[in-house]
Amino acid sequence: MENGYWLLALIPGLPLLGAAAVAAARNRWSKPALAGTACAMVGLAFIATVVALTRYLGLDGAGTLQAALWSWGFEGVGLGLLGDAVSLWFALVVTGVGLLIHIYAANYMADDPGYGRFFAELNYFIFAMSLLVLADGFLGMLVGWANVGLASYLLIGFWNQRPAAAAASRKAFWVNTVGEVGLILAMALVWNAYGSLRFADVLPQAGSAAPTTLNAIALLLLVGAVAKSAQLPLHVWLPDAMQGPTPVSALIHAATMVTAGVYLAVRAFPIFEAAPVGLPAVAAVGAASALFGAVVAVGQNDIKRVLAFSTMSQVGYMILGAGVGAYSAALFHFMTHAFFKALLFLGAGIVIHHFHGEQDIRRMGGLGRQLPFAYWTFLIGTLALIGLPPLSGFFSKDEIVVELLVTGHPVLWVLAVAAAGLTAFYMTRLFCLVFTGQAPQAAGAKGRAAREAAAAREPEATHGRVDHGHHAHHHHGVHPLQAVPVVLLAVLSAVAGVLWIPGVTAVPEHFLGRVFSQYHTAAHAAAVAPEQAKTLTMAVLLVVAALAMILGVRLYGPGRQGAGPVLPAAAVLANGFYFDDLYRAAFVRPWRALAAHVGQVIDPHVVDGAVNGMARLAGTLAAGLGRLHGGYVRRYALALLAGTAVIVLYFVML
Amino acid sequence: MPGMAVQGYLVLSAVLFVIGLVGVLVRRSPLVTLMSIELMWGAAALLFLTFSRLWAAMDGHVFTFMIVAVGAAEAAVGLALIVLIFRSRDKADVDDVRALRG
């Protein structure tokens, strides 16, 4: 245990400083200065994370780094930072991938009038996210959690003149608020049950609470995790969040923010393990989301929405891993997913720019010949996501799926394998439609109509932003500031698997395992021998992925007609099983009706009625009493006499 | 002071007061109303003096002086009002002056 390790404060502190500086100077500094400041702050935060990591490793598993920042004067509540394996693991990815995306955005957003605002908000997000993962208790985590939600809101709605973006940002905020309410209620129960909100106080004695309380805490925490991580049934905000600029999609809605739920599930794992329904609920949500996201992704036609549902599916894998106690595997998949999903999104940004803001993959094609750079990097990301060896996704997804079998969850294992097959299919479809076949006709009425339709949808084009114009002049080049992060992410996506090669290395297991072994040492009773499970899983996953890819190439490969065959139930898939319509019918419309009722009936009649009624009552009373006030002095005198007589009589009678 | 004499004063006071009261209630001339009020003042003052003498205390005298002083002031204000009323209309009738009706 090392207290007062103030370096930790730099990790959220520097990006916050950067956000403030860039926001203040956004209209005064030049664009390179703005982007440079933002990148430098995240870069320094990354370096601070690396230094903290070295220091933590120097502790040799004998404790954690801590820095108490603020206390309200009584135990258990306060703002402090905690550096242990899990939080530093997350901070490393948040600042590392965050830095790469900052660099990418420096060029990607080059022609946006809101350049400074963008970088201020991006830095602010890094601050919030690193606070979330570094906080030493539920309170600090909630502060980070809510700030992350705000940053997400700001960035989804970055193009705030567009109604669709504004609606998407509101939607994300509302759904996340559902999760925050769950989190706050869970915190209240935690405080009640354990008398503290600090992880170090709560988690070691997690099992001491009553089972009912534990169930309630676990389920409420899960509500928070589900909302933030876009899991069923609170996933509806994530596809819409793609209205934000592509670097935002890469950073927030793929690599970091949506994994906050994974962080919560892993961080609070003693609670989930102690609660009778904790882990099964987590696993069920994760498996359902993994499969659902993969199924829906098959039917999506917007390149970013495919990746969004894919993110939901992959985060589902992580949650699923956390739900069967495979914490290290879940966090390993978090890291590799951050690499390849950020890579895919940044690649998608290049693709979208190349097609002048077109996002419909059915209207793309033949990019492989025109833009080999995008082709190869996107291919690495695609194969990593599908999970082909030796790319990173293979090792990390494999670890999770194997663990399902080892811990005796054959049903979940089948679901995970099915989702993996679908993943291979939709990524093959996406890749083939974009990069193979004929390039879309640029000229002709059809092409123009398509471009206009795209212009109506796509932010960059509607704004008459020149980034397409700017790129149109050098189609075949990708700016170095965009290329370098993409290449780095491609390398990471390709080789990160070496961290955990079964039987050879197990860096995540050793590094992260020290946190998980801190509280419990009971090994899971292996339902299936690990070696057999491993061989079986690996073989099945590879066969399923290969079959799905072959099918994908057959249907959507270079020889396809037009945009390939239309899938059965395409409308159902494209609409994501009508969750939006369901929520519209179940929540939005009744709520609007209620609001209309309040606005048109209750407010004018009940509220205003009460106020006006008081006035009318006073008026009526005054009119009635005023009649007594006739102006005849002699009548007043008579009234006086009568009154006096009554009083006198009263006393006389007494 | 003999009891009979006290009763006489009390009866006189009551009679004066009732005359004044009836005058206020039934007469419509502001001047007569004012005079009737003065009568009621006088009845009250007489009552004060009667009991003051009966109990050989000076309080009643003090009040009587007060009544005289206030009555004089009131008469001055009242007469001024009556003059104004006379000026603003042909005849003076208290029932005509009812601008303060509700």
Q: Is A27 exposed, middle or buried (0-12, 13-18, 19+ CB in 10 A)?
A: exposed
A66: β partners: A82
Do the chains contact at B25 and A634, CB–CB below 8 Å?
Answer: yes
Residue range A309-317: mean pLDDT, rounded: 92
Q: Which of B21, B26, B98 sits opposite A632 (nearest CB)?
A: B98
Size of interface A-B (CB pairs under 8 A): 38
Residue range A36-56: mean pLDDT, rounded: 91
pLDDT in tens, A244-260: 888 888 888 888 888 99
Taking a contact as any Cβ pair under 8 Å apart, which residues of chain B between 34 and 93 contact chain A?
none
**Alpha carbon distance B94, A66 (integer Å):** 93
**Smallest CA–CA distance from A624 into chain B, residue:** B102
**Alpha carbon distance A36, A31 (integer Å):** 8
Q: Give the range of the structural domain holding residue B45, as residue numbers without chain letter.
A: 3-91
pLDDT in tens, A59-111: 876 678 888 888 777 777 778 888 888 899 999 999 999 999 999 888 888 88
Do the chains contact at B25 and A641, CB–CB below 8 Å?
Answer: yes
B102 domain-assigned: no
pLDDT in tens, B42-98: 999 999 999 998 888 888 899 999 999 998 999 999 999 888 888 888 777 888 777
- How far does the CA of residue B63 sit from the closest CA of chain A (Å)? 21
Residues of A within 8 A of B20 (CB-CB) are none
Residues of A within 8 A of B97 (CB-CB) are 631, 633
Mean pLDDT of chain B: 87
pLDDT in tens, B13-48: 999 999 999 999 898 888 898 899 999 999 999 999
**Alpha carbon distance A139, B68 (integer Å):** 82
The pLDDT > 70 percentage for chain A reads: 92
Q: Which segment, A449-458, A473-482, A567-576, is predicted with the most confidence on average?
A: A567-576
Q: Which segment, A243-257, A477-491, A637-651, is predicted with the most confidence on average?
A: A637-651
| Residue A628 touches chain B, beta carbons under 8 Å | yes
B58 domain-assigned: yes
Residue range A24-37: mean pLDDT, rounded: 87
Residues of A within 8 A of B24 (CB-CB) are 634, 637
Do the chains contact at B101 and A633, CB–CB below 8 Å?
Answer: no
A82: β partners: A66
- pLDDT computed for residue A472 by the predictor: 41
Do the chains contact at B99 and A627, CB–CB below 8 Å?
Answer: no
The least confident of A73-77, A202-206, A482-486, A600-604 is A73-77
Q: Which of B21, B26, B95 sits opposite A632 (nearest CB)?
A: B95
Cα within 13 Å of Cα(A245), Cβ side: 29
Residues of B within 8 A of A629 (CB-CB) are 100-102
B40 domain-assigned: yes
pLDDT grade for B4, boundaries at 50, 70 and 90 = low
Start-to-end CA distance of chain A, whole Å, equals 88
B99 domain-assigned: no
| Residue A637 touches chain B, beta carbons under 8 Å | yes
The answer to whether A140 and A131 are in contact (CB under 8 A) is yes
| Residue B97 touches chain A, beta carbons under 8 Å | yes
Q: ipTM value, please give it.
A: 0.84
Do the chains contact at B95 and A628, CB–CB below 8 Å?
Answer: no
B98 domain-assigned: no
- Interface with B, mutate which of A620, A634, A641 (most B CBs under 10 A): A634
Q: Which two tokens stand for residue A11?
A: 């990790």
pLDDT grade for A524, boundaries at 50, 70 and 90 = low
- pLDDT computed for residue A121 by the predictor: 92
- pLDDT computed for residue A528 by the predictor: 67
pLDDT grade for B1, boundaries at 50, 70 and 90 = low
Find, among A526, A294, A252, the residue nearest to A424 by Cα: A294
If one counts the domains in chain B, the total is: 1
Question: Is the sign of the CA dihedral A195, A197, A201, A204 positive or negative?
Answer: positive
Q: Any idea what the CATH number is for the domain that residue B42 is in?
A: 1.10.287.3510
- pLDDT at A58 exceeding the cut of 90: no
pLDDT in tens, A388-441: 888 888 888 888 888 888 888 888 999 999 999 999 999 998 998 888 877 776
B100 domain-assigned: no
| Residue A474 touches chain B, beta carbons under 8 Å | no
pLDDT in tens, A114-158: 888 999 999 999 999 999 999 988 988 999 999 999 999 999 989
- How far does the CA of residue A650 sit from the closest CA of chain B (Å)? 20
- pLDDT computed for residue A527 by the predictor: 62
Single-letter amino acid, residue A429 = R
- pLDDT at A182 exceeding the cut of 90: yes
Query: Residue A640 CA to chain centroid, in angstroms?
Result: 80
B14 domain-assigned: yes
- How far does the CA of residue B62 sit from the closest CA of chain A (Å)? 25
Q: Which two tokens stand for residue A93?
A: 């990815």
Query: Beta strands A78-83 and A65-71: pairing type?
Result: antiparallel
Residues of A within 8 A of B81 (CB-CB) are none
Q: Which of B26, B33, B102 sits opposite A627 (nearest CB)?
A: B102
Residues of A within 8 A of B34 (CB-CB) are none
pLDDT in tens, A534-562: 888 888 989 999 999 899 888 888 877 77
Q: Is A215 exposed, middle or buried (0-12, 13-18, 19+ CB in 10 A)?
A: middle
pLDDT grade for A368, boundaries at 50, 70 and 90 = confident
- How far does the CA of residue A612 sit from the closest CA of chain B (Å)? 22
DSSP 3-state of A135: strand
Do the chains contact at A641 and B97, CB–CB below 8 Å?
Answer: no
- pLDDT computed for residue A466 by the predictor: 35
Mean pLDDT of chain A: 85
Do the chains contact at A634 and B21, CB–CB below 8 Å?
Answer: no
- pLDDT computed for residue A441 by the predictor: 65
B73 domain-assigned: yes
**Alpha carbon distance A480, A14 (integer Å):** 26
Q: What is the SS3 assignment for chain B?
A: CCHHHHHHHHHHHHHHHHHHHHHHHHCCCHHHHHHHHHHHHHHHHHHHHHHHHHCCCCHHHHHHHHHHHHHHHHHHHHHHHHHHHHHHCCCCCHHHCCCCCC
Residues of A within 8 A of B94 (CB-CB) are 632-634
The answer to whether A79 and A139 are in contact (CB under 8 A) is yes
**Alpha carbon distance A151, A459 (integer Å):** 20
Q: Which of A630, A637, A638 sits opposite B101 (nearest CB)?
A: A630
